[in-house]
Amino acid sequence: MGLKDEKLVIAGREFSSRLIVGTGKYKDYAENAAAAEAAGAEIVTVAVRRVNLTDKDEPMLVDYIDPKKFTYLPNTAGCFTGEDAVRTLRLAREAGDWTLVKLEVLGDEKTLYPNMPETLRAAELLIKEGFEVMVYCSDDPILAKQLEDIGCCAIMPLAAPIGSGLGIQNPVNIRLIIEQANVPVLVDAGVGTASDAAIAMELGCDGVLMNTAIAEAKNPILMAEAMKNAVIAGRQAYLAGRMQKRLYADPSSPIGGLI
């Protein structure tokens, strides 16, 4: 990058990549690993689920995406209560021996919109237990501030519903959340294509988290690379500072010396 960028710092850990990718919905773990590589991601989200007792030869994520190379970010996807989320992350901490986690407490099956009162309660419990909580949340600036005040290490408002690919629906709120935050803000969920990721970064987001936009692309590896470039381009544009918009034209060639 022409201008030397700062690293993304989350809970004291430094990352060069500002793109976090999920590991769900891929054809197989091999494609998943190739996409994470192409995205240049350093953090991948993972789910905690029961071990399959009947098919022990089932492929394992850790054999494809090396937890020593990628930071595993355990999530609480599928949890609808604070208790479920806390229980899941306690297990994740025991399985992986790390404390950086992604909290999401869902409130509705159809929209997968976060249940914010439960999210706040679970975040408090987790932080008391020593977890470093990156939190999936609604795009309400007041709630985002409350999450930061209780000690969340990253605020992750949705761009649009999980898996919808609709892009940033409320750029005004995302910008307000960024403006007030003293911890990283990452858009999490709802990104559909590269321009959505670039818009998030141009708004001043510190990073973007996505899964479906890459996994459900016709060519996930190529889309992963596109997302990597979009996040870098958006970040550069944000740092460069865009021109002012004008209502009318302003010639690019000088008027003087016209024949």
Tell me if 190 is assigned to a ligand binding site: yes
Any contact of residue 51 with another protein (CB under 8 A)? yes
Among 1, 2, 4, 50, which residue sits at the site for another protein (rule: CB under 8 A)?
A: 50
Tokens 């818009």 belong to: 199
Considering the rule CB under 8 A, would residue 190 count as an interface residue with another protein?
Answer: no
Annotated binding-site residue? 207: no
Task: Tell me: does residue 221 bind another protein (CB under 8 A).
Answer: no
Q: Terminal CA-to-CA distance of the chain, rounded, Å?
A: 41
Q: How many CB atoms lie within 10 A of CB 56?
A: 8
Neighbour-count burial of 126, counting CB atoms closer than 10 A to its CB (0-12 exposed, 13-18 middle, 19+ buried): buried
102 bridge partner residues: 134
Contact of 206 with 186, CB cutoff 8 Å: yes
Least Cβ distance, residue 46 to another protein (angstroms): 4
One residue of 30, 60, 142, 172 binding another protein per CB under 8 A? 60
Told to check if 161 binds another protein by CB under 8 A, we report: no
Q: What is the Cα–Cα distance from 259 to 236, expressed in whole angstroms?
A: 39
Q: Work out whether 222 is an interface residue with another protein (CB under 8 A).
A: no
| Residue from 10, 19, 85, 92 in contact with another protein (CB under 8 A) | 92
Among 61, 166, 221, 239, binds another protein (CB under 8 A): 61
Residue 62 contacts another protein per CB under 8 A: yes
By CB under 8 A, residue 233 contacts another protein: no
E strand or H helix at 154, and its extent? strand 154-157
Active site residue 56: no
Q: Which of 163, 184, 190, 207 binds another protein (CB under 8 A)?
A: 163
- Integer-rounded Cα Rg, in Å, for the chain is 20
Phi and psi (nearest 5°) for 211?
A: -135, -65
Backbone angles phi, psi at 251, to 5 degrees: -60, 140
The answer to whether 119 contacts another protein (rule: CB under 8 A) is no
Q: Decide: is 167 part of the binding site for another protein (CB under 8 A).
A: no
**For the packed helices 141-149 and 171-180, what is the interaxial angle rounded to 10 degrees?**
30
Site membership for another protein, residue 95 (CB under 8 A): yes
173 is in an annotated binding site: no
Token pair belonging to 243: 């021109």
The pairing of beta strand 13-15 with beta strand 19-21: unpaired
Q: Residue 72 pairs with which residues in a beta bridge?
A: 44
Q: According to CB under 8 A, which one of 24, 107, 161, 171 is a site residue for another protein? A: 24
Residue 150 near residue 144, CB atoms below 8 Å: no
Provide the minimum distance between the beta carbon of 134 and another protein in the complex, in angstroms, as a whole number.
14
Catalytic residue among 102, 145, 218, 245: 102
The residues assigned a catalytic role are 102
In the complex, the residues that contact another protein under the rule CB under 8 A are 22-26, 29, 32, 45-51, 53, 56, 60-62, 67, 72, 74-75, 77, 87, 90-96, 162-163, 211-212, 215
User: Which residues participate in the annotated binding site for 1-deoxy-D-xylulose 5-phosphate?
Assistant: 163, 189-190, 211-212
